[in-house]
Amino acid sequence: MAARAALQRSVVSPAGGHRASVILLHGSGDTGPGVRAWIKQVLNQDLVFQHIKVIYPTAPARPYTPMRGALSTVWFDRWKISNECPEHIETIDSMCQVLTNVIDDEVKNGISKNRIILGGFSMGGGMAMHLAYRYHQDVAGVFALSSFLNKTSAVYQALQKNESVLPELFQCHGTADELVLHSWGEETNKMLKSLGVATSFHSFPNLKHELHKTELEKLSSWIVKKLPVETAMSNE
């Protein structure tokens, strides 16, 4: 099965020593190099840190139901782009296993799970929430940009039975998003907060389904706050 093969990855190495990692997942139909280039275009530079490696995996192409079964680089399938329908849990779970390999590779490189942040844009943010809150609750944090979870998400079901400390969620959403409604993102945030997740939610007026410079600057500051270089130094 193609999805079981190692994912292609675009990597931005830290300017200094590698002491933490961010795994950033692209939106549907995009690629790792594609979202990296988009971020570079918005920021006028790579999302780069002194001590943190940024990894952009590419989803394997698979039939995608919203595109009438055409092949697309998506993390999972879904019946339609809506928060009302059931999740396509089989494809979500199989991709969680594949992405676990990316996390494991970082751990083998000497980066502990609590020095790894998972996140993404749109579908990538939804994927990151499944990956972190259902399978890897010991990561340092999660971010979701223009993302949502379905109303009956398996993430909510998993957290109802949870008693451990959960990774913090950083969420951003444009108020003018017509593909993934701002209200879907807001509802996801409120639901996760009610289930014990420490969350922040940043609304961007007039922003559509896209990235914004201020949003990425806020994200960069949050990443450094969650993965400070001092902690890495003291652990040596």
30 tagged catalytic = no
Q: Confirm whether 208 is domain-assigned.
A: yes
Which domain, by its residues, includes 218? 9-226
Average pLDDT over residues 71-79: 92
Q: Confirm whether 179 is domain-assigned.
A: yes
Query: What are the pLDDT digits (tens) for 85-102?
Result: 889 999 999 999 999 999
pLDDT band with cut points at 50, 70 and 90 for residue 1: very low
The SS3 assignment for 117 reads: strand
Among 21, 28, 122, 153, the one annotated catalytic: 122
Distance CA 125, CA 26 (A): 8
Q: What is the CA radius of gyration of the chain?
A: 16
- Supply 164's token pair: 């451990």
Q: Where are the alpha helices (H) located in 13-141, listed in sequence order?
A: 32-43, 89-108, 123-130
Query: What are the pLDDT digits (tens) for 14-25?
Result: 999 999 999 999
Q: Confirm whether 164 is domain-assigned.
A: yes
- Supply 104's token pair: 């494991």
Q: Tell me the CA end-to-end span of the chain in Å, nearest whole number.
A: 40
- Specify the pLDDT at position 231: 56
Give how far the C-alpha of residue 158 lies from the chain's centroid of Cα atoms, to the nearest Å.
18
Q: Confirm whether 235 is domain-assigned.
A: no
- Specify the pLDDT at position 161: 85
- Specify the pLDDT at position 66: 80
177 tagged catalytic = yes
Q: Confirm whether 90 is domain-assigned.
A: yes
Distance CA 191, CA 151 (A): 9
pLDDT band with cut points at 50, 70 and 90 for residue 3: very low
Write down the mean pLDDT value for the chain: 93
Q: Confirm whether 37 is domain-assigned.
A: yes
CA distances from 74 to 69, 82, 137, 180, 191 (A): 12, 16, 23, 16, 25
Q: Confirm whether 216 is domain-assigned.
A: yes
- Specify the pLDDT at position 6: 79
Structural domains of the chain, count: 1
Among 18, 88, 202, 209, the one annotated catalytic: 209
Checking if the pLDDT of 232 tops 70, the result is no
Among 30, 177, 182, 212, the one annotated catalytic: 177
Distance CA 24, CA 220 (A): 12
Checking if the pLDDT of 227 tops 60, the result is yes
pTM over 0.85: yes
pLDDT band with cut points at 50, 70 and 90 for residue 162: confident
What does the longest C-alpha to C-alpha distance in the chain come to? Answer: 52
122 tagged catalytic = yes
Q: Confirm whether 143 is domain-assigned.
A: yes
- Here the CATH number for the domain that contains residue 68 is 3.40.50.1820
Query: What are the pLDDT digits (tens) for 172-221?
Result: 999 999 999 999 999 999 999 999 999 999 999 999 999 999 999 999 99
Contact between residue 145 and residue 42 where contact means Cβ atoms under 8 Å apart: no
